[in-house]
A and B are shown apart, each in its own frame.
Chain A
């Protein structure tokens, strides 16, 4: 028997379970029935598992999943083996999807604010009441002629939900859709668009590269599409290639990804762009670059001499030359830039420098290099992924420019620098309605909460970006009936639109969001030749697509050529390293706040599995820490586990010390994700949020907050911290536990490769 048979792919819409559950028992009090169904839907056999294909929404990578459902309950999430992003695999957060669904701290039904704003005191109301009240407020706003004062603040809404929200906003008469996530890669999109004209995140083909040069892209835990890229990494190392790919990581702290690199280059924080350009210069000067505009490049890169770069970056001259040589000689090679380089005050510049590097080495548009995703196969409109930055919203709120704020599932109160004063700004908004599923710091500011389903209860879709070199549309279907009295956000929007009336109502579809989704796909199907080529009817296509988890082309399309022009690049590069707030003498240490696999931007903190999952590098559980080099620690007189204050010109936080060899002596690093004041029993009052001490620096080109933009000082408290780490000793003591062979010491791959 093949695994494929073992997993039953079932399209809920086609067979009726999902719809039956969803519409038949749309709102059912939790735990009211011991046995989920008195008369079970026909495909439910007690004790037998059904596997439903759906979508992971724990991050924006859009992995296709299969959910094991038994007796109406979601039991396990696995990667959908047919899905080209997940390839049947999942990351730690994807695996935890069921603990989001069954999280004990979900908002269980609509609620209205009772106490003062932000006091987190609410009373339950009915859905009808809730919709009536919010539509009333909306009507009031538009009758005052202040429709522009409606703001929508949400995480990136992929697929048709985003379009529905856009329709609603447009119908209402507002253009203020703010999509914000801490790691929404807006700098990368901007850099790619302005230098390569690519309004998307391309596919970085790690799998087929022979030399990977990563500037702080922590793809093993969080960057872009960790599952897809990790799969590529495994293949690069022991895949069916002629040689094992080499991997060099440049970043100030040895991240999980750097721990897997053959070489770690801890360049001085803020100078990585200069390093990249110096490498690019070496390549151009060596004659490797054969483009017609070679002289333009030569003059553009002239200031980035090896000697200058070595002085600024703290990386050996010889090393710069070696990397340059290896990078251009290994064919294909690939440079990528992640959070640590895009998080500087000149983040876009660093990412541009990496595009230059790929361009001059000849890695653009080739297998094993940077591959553009094929043009939008849907031949229709797509929701904008990023749009204006959150700083626009804060400004508007402070200037009383917001009359009504609709909020969904993002948490700027936690994910913006404390010095940006997002909470104070949002508090200025006269009326806030939130559709969030969890009571986080931002949701608690709302006047009314209309909680949405989580992904396994809801319909949806996503046009995955970054995609694996070709366009992927993933479908999300309800795999269980709603656990609480929540609603599909699509249905809530439709309800509000209809409630408001006028143009907004006219733009709303008839019927439910589920029906709307199907209709929209029907439209896609009609417009898209590739989709309707193979199938007879839409119904048939829809059923198969639901069962399969989405639609994608089976093979990669021909790659279009990409290039970076020296002229477009010139606007972005500079000889200056990135700027850091705080005077060197007062604040001697660079602060690197970074995303950690389990918590990402803090959203994973309410999942018990992820709290108890040891950090892959430090093995710390249930808390946060600050990584300090042993030399620095001994200079400061602190040791492992001591509680210290991390103080920047903008504030201070408390955190226990983690003494770590893998960090520069002039740098400290703090993981993002803990330090929640609200967000459920597992997350609250645990650890510290490094964003609280950041300056409000944004990259003016993109509106992205610069995470790596302040210096700090470490102040001893003399108290022990609450560090709980699972590894007692990381010294192997010569016991041959993790055995190694040098490259070339054994065949790079085994004959039996799978």
Chain B
């Protein structure tokens, strides 16, 4: 009996990598400098191109089914002529305590050994739970089988699958690029280093607002930027422990506005 129990215990332990959620092989992190970002949306199109995102058309846009994995949110403050518009790029925050992961009954979305919130399209049964639970509204659903008008399909990136109807998807931190970097590093018998890869949005961003890298590497740009006094994380009070770090926009208060954004 005790033999069975021990075996069971070992078995159960094997499902949990020690240090799960606290100690990752890599800790992929994205830093977005809101003082650099000018809201140009180049990152948005880059993500469409890299990740085979479908275009859904006007009618579906009208009921909020646009597919962009990264979006620029804009907030307008004040009235004419004292108006401020603020931009923030929002993609999956790869929360270390991800609400979406709790929700998924089939482990189609789970945390991998690199601290990424990954999505297994093949496993997803489309219960929407993850998207409902996601605090950042970054999840996108394949409402239909999306088509590319020929010959637009020739552009599709073969490194990324085309998702089928009924499954959930979202920003993956360009995991296909991470895989290439890891494979190459493995072939060369080393760890992935700073500069080995960029995410598509980071690659495209004209203002260099997005920086991606390994927080476990103390010399990486993200490690240094993450220590900025301007650092904050989105809706941090909800304790989702996001892997995306924002650097506050430097902005004069609007005249007479005593509320709104916090400073500090």
Name the interface residues of A213-268: CB closer than 8 Å to any CB of B. Answer: 220-221, 226-227, 230-231, 233-235, 237-238, 244, 254, 256-257, 259-260, 262-264, 266
**Nearest CB on A from B85, distance (A):** 4
Query: Is B131 located at the chain interface by the 8 A CB criterion?
Result: no
Residue among A91, A612, A629 making CB contact with B206, cutoff 8 Å: A91
A3 neighbours in B (Cβ, 8 Å): 195-198
A619: chain B residues at CB < 8 Å are: 74
Is the beta-carbon distance between B77 and A732 smaller than 8 angstroms? yes
Instruction: Pick from B3-11, B22-30, B95-103, B145-153 the stretch touching chain A.
Output: B145-153
Query: Which residues of the partner chain A approach B217 to less than 8 Å between Cβ atoms?
Result: none
Instruction: Please pick, from A91, A616, A623, A747, the residue contacting B39 in the complex, using a CB distance under 8 A.
Output: A616
Cβ contact within 8 Å between A95 and B34? no
17 contacts between A and B (CB under 8 A): A1-B184, A89-B42, A96-B49, A234-B36, A262-B251, A608-B55, A609-B55, A612-B61, A621-B66, A727-B74, A730-B76, A737-B75, A737-B88, A738-B261, A741-B230, A743-B251, A748-B250
Q: A260-B87, A629-B80, A737-B88 are in contact. List 10 more A-B contacts (CB 8 A).
A: A77-B49, A102-B153, A221-B40, A230-B40, A230-B206, A237-B36, A257-B38, A617-B74, A732-B86, A735-B235
| Docked complex: B230-264 residues within 8 A CB-CB of A | 230, 232, 234-235, 246-253, 259-264
CB within 8 Å of B: which A715-737 residues: 722, 724, 726-728, 730-732, 734-737
Whether a CB of chain A sits under 8 angstroms from the CB of B104 is no
Q: Given A234-B209, A609-B48, decide whether A734 and B259 contact each other with a Cβ distance below 8 A.
A: yes
- The reply on B203 being an interface residue by CB < 8 A is yes
Residues of chain B within 8 A of A664, CB atoms compared: 80-81
- Hey, which chain B residues are within 8 Å of A234, CB to CB? 33, 36, 38, 206-209
Q: Which 9 A-B pairs have the closest CB atoms?
A: A752-B224, A234-B207, A230-B206, A259-B85, A622-B58, A738-B86, A95-B45, A234-B36, A104-B149
Contact A726:B64 (CB < 8 A) given known A629-B80, A740-B86: yes
Q: Least Cβ distance of A749 to chain B in Å? A: 9
Q: Which residues of B contact A266 (CB under 8 A)?
A: 80-81
Complex Cα–Cα for A662 and B79 (A):
8
Whether A260 lies near B230 (C-beta < 8 A) is: no
In angstroms, how far is the closest chain A Cβ from the Cβ of B234? Answer: 7
User: Which A residues are CB-close (under 8 A) to B179?
Assistant: none
Chief secondary structure at chain A's binding surface:
loop
Size bracket, chain B contacts: 35 or more
- Of residues 58 through 78 on chain A, the ones whose CB sits less than 8 Å from some CB of chain B are 70-71, 73-78
Question: Is the pair B252, A47 in contact by a Cβ cutoff of 8 Å?
Answer: no
Hey, which chain B residues are within 8 Å of A662, CB to CB? 76, 80, 83, 85
Nearest A-chain residue to B155, judged by Cβ: A98
Cβ-defined contact, B260 with A732, below 8 A: yes
B161: interface (CB < 8 Å):
no
Number of A-B contacts (CB under 8 A): 300
Q: Do A741 and B263 touch across chains, with their CB atoms under 8 A apart?
A: yes
Shortest beta-carbon distance, B211 to chain A, in Å? Answer: 7
- Docked-complex contact B152 and A102, CB < 8 angstroms: yes
Does B185 touch A at the CB level, under 8 Å? yes
Does A661 belong to the interface (CB within 8 Å)? yes
Minimum distance in angstroms from A532 CB to a CB of chain B: 33
- Given A75-B158, A102-B152, A608-B55, A227 and B206 touching (CB < 8 A)? yes
Q: What chain B residues lie within 8 Å of A617 (beta carbons)?
A: 39, 74, 85
Q: Which residue of B45, B184, B228 contacts A92 across the interface (Cβ within 8 Å)?
A: B45
